[in-house]
Amino acid sequence: MTLSRYDYIIVGSGAGGGVLAFHLSRAGKRVLVLEAGQRWQAKDYPDNELDASARLMWSGGVEPSHDASLMLMRGRVLGGGTVINQCLLDRFDSVALDDWAERSSIDSFNVTALGRHYDAVEADLSLQSIPESDWNGNARIYADGFDQLGYRRAPLRRGQSRCDVSAGNDCMRCLGGCPRSSKQSMAATFLPRAEQHGLEIVTGCHVHGVVHGSAGVTVYGRVGQEQVQFFGAQCVLAAGTLGSSRILMNSGLTHALPALGKGFFCHPQFVTFARYAEPVDAHRGSFQALKSDDPRFRAAGFKLENVFMGPVAAAYLLPGGAQMHQRLMRGYRHLACIEVAVRDVTPGRLSLGRNGQLNIRKSLGAPERRRAREGLQVIRDIYRVTGAKEVMQAPTGIGLHLMGGCAQGVQRDTSVVNPEFAVHGMPRLHVVDGSLFPSAPGINPSLTIMALAHRAAEALLGCTLPSAGIARGQSIAIAEASA
């Protein structure tokens, strides 16, 4: 059997894989992306929560941690998590990056050095904030509460291009994929651009493992029931924290990489609803316009998110059963929602269990519980001063932004990936996704994963890469890359 040989095989098509695929393809390399999920035309994304969970997410929606204290969520679709997230694109601050530099001994984890990579990916995306005229009821309650209590808030910077809320569009729909291709997911931005430069994509491909050799890397797995393998001079794992860690473990590298699976983090999130006398209509119009921007919250290790959710998720998270449940759900339009997102500091651990399934050991430590309590108190205060009739806290925590497990760093005993993005001792095998994170930043990670992918592309190609300037309509000649 003769295998096609690629210059680069990228496993995963999310924020890391998408950006990397674009820059490598644009540099003239033969690139293959393997994605476990399916390709969707934007207009065909599911229009209901049931199908969105079953068809766009791993394990049909959520995966519990070992003690089920957190329900973890991750995308399984071409474009990965960028298809199902809210595309909130903030840069990391010095608080997050200084911590990374200290943990990893990588000096270039700083605001200035990473700034060039942020600039490059931002130039290729449409970034907007939601004007006050487009706020919905949930945002107005959030803003009112912050203002009355003297907390700082700010507009969220979002990756979107033409939501056209004034025409009556309800952006909450886009949690199951944006049918207007407004959301700047990889499926709407970097991947189609990469395909214009020759990128090949195989969807429905479940990668089991890799074999690192002197001439390249063999990637093996299955498409449907068919066993497949692909050969690349270089392989990049961009399958996300759980995916990339699992592939390395499944490849028998646990003992060679003592830090593999350690340092698993997420941002635990705790939802609190409030019921108001008048309809809030938190599901209508623009979605998640504002963020907390109070230095006291940052210092305390939490932020408050102005989110909402469809009836399925709301029904699952609202407390109570039978009559109480039905009463609360009948008042769905009267519900507001704020969640506290905690900057996680207690590391979890990933390991391979029997039958090849990943064990996710992640508990809420005392620091996370304390941070959540402080944030929940602020939320209750917001609801009190804004006249809520009833406040309900969800009994279940959600774990978003899965990070770590293949930390980047200098020391082999505390990291998996070196500063040039190669797995320690395996120069042809690389990792470029959120699993690189040495700690939880307390900030949405997508933009930084993209920036790291831009940095990784430069490391792989051995040259600096200008932005394509696509979002600004610029025309920049493709740089000649010397690998």
Partner 1 sequence: MSRPSSPPIAAFSRRHEQALARIGDVLIPGDDTLPSYSESGAAALAPRALAGARPVDQVMMMRLITVVGALPRPLIALMLLLIRAGLRLPGLVGAPARLLDLALKGVIMNTYYCGLDRTAPDGSSAVFQALDFRLQMHVDDEDAR
**Interface with partner 1 (CB under 8 A):** 41-43, 47-51, 53-55, 57-62, 64, 66-69, 71, 76, 162, 164, 167-170, 172-173, 179-182, 224-226, 283, 310-312, 314-316, 319-323, 325-326, 329-330, 332-333, 355, 357, 363, 395-396
Q: Closest separation between CB of residue 50 and partner 1, Å?
A: 4
**Nearer Cβ to partner 1, position 18 or 145?**
18
**Nearer Cβ to partner 1, position 69 or 110?**
69
**Nearer Cβ to partner 1, position 395 or 427?**
395
Residue 221 and residue 205: Cα distance in Å, rounded? 7
Q: Closest separation between CB of residue 53 and partner 1, Å?
A: 7
The position carrying tokens 């700034």 is 115
Q: Closest separation between CB of residue 59 and partner 1, Å?
A: 6
Give 152's contacts (C-beta < 8 A, 6+ positions apart): 146, 292, 293, 294, 295
**Nearer Cβ to partner 1, position 237 or 314?**
314
**Nearer Cβ to partner 1, position 169 or 439?**
169
**Nearer Cβ to partner 1, position 65 or 444?**
65
Q: Closest separation between CB of residue 332 and partner 1, Å?
A: 5
Q: Closest separation between CB of residue 65 and partner 1, Å?
A: 9
Asked whether the beta carbons of 171 and 307 are under 8 A apart, the reply is: no
Q: Closest separation between CB of residue 192 and partner 1, Å?
A: 9
**Nearer Cβ to partner 1, position 363 or 411?**
363
What number of helices (H) and strands (E) belong to the chain? 13, 21
Which regions of 224-330 does DSSP assign to beta strands (E)? 226-237, 262-275, 290-292, 302-305
Q: Closest separation between CB of residue 64 and partner 1, Å?
A: 6
Q: Closest separation between CB of residue 142 and partner 1, Å?
A: 21
**Nearer Cβ to partner 1, position 194 or 423?**
194
Q: If phi over 0 gives left and psi between -120 and 50 gives alpha, with beta otherwise, what is residue 353?
A: beta
**Nearer Cβ to partner 1, position 175 or 210?**
175
Sign of CA pseudo-dihedral 388, 393, 398, 399: positive
For the purposes of burial, counting CB atoms within 10 Å of the CB of 397, is it exposed (0-12), middle (13-18) or buried (19 or more)? buried
Q: Closest separation between CB of residue 278 and partner 1, Å?
A: 13
Q: Closest separation between CB of residue 328 and partner 1, Å?
A: 11
Of 336, 265, 342, 259, the closest CA to residue 297 belongs to: 342
DSSP designation for 394: -
Token code pair at residue 331: 């008042």
Asked whether the beta carbons of 58 and 76 are under 8 A apart, the reply is: yes
Token code pair at residue 346: 């207690």
**Nearer Cβ to partner 1, position 169 or 415?**
169
Residue 388 and residue 381: Cα distance in Å, rounded? 10
CB atoms within 10 A of CB 98: 14
- One-letter identity of residue 363: S
Q: Closest separation between CB of residue 223 and partner 1, Å?
A: 10
Residue 200 and residue 196: Cα distance in Å, rounded? 10
Residue 465 and residue 232: Cα distance in Å, rounded? 22
3-state secondary structure of 99: helix
Q: Closest separation between CB of residue 81 and partner 1, Å?
A: 15
Token code pair at residue 465: 């890469």
**Nearer Cβ to partner 1, position 128 or 396?**
396
**Nearer Cβ to partner 1, position 196 or 363?**
363
Give the DSSP letter string of 136-197: -HHHHHHHHHHHHHT--EEEPPEE-S---GGGT--GGGGGG--TTS-S--TTTTHHHHHHHT
Token code pair at residue 41: 């035309």
Residue 185 and residue 236: Cα distance in Å, rounded? 20
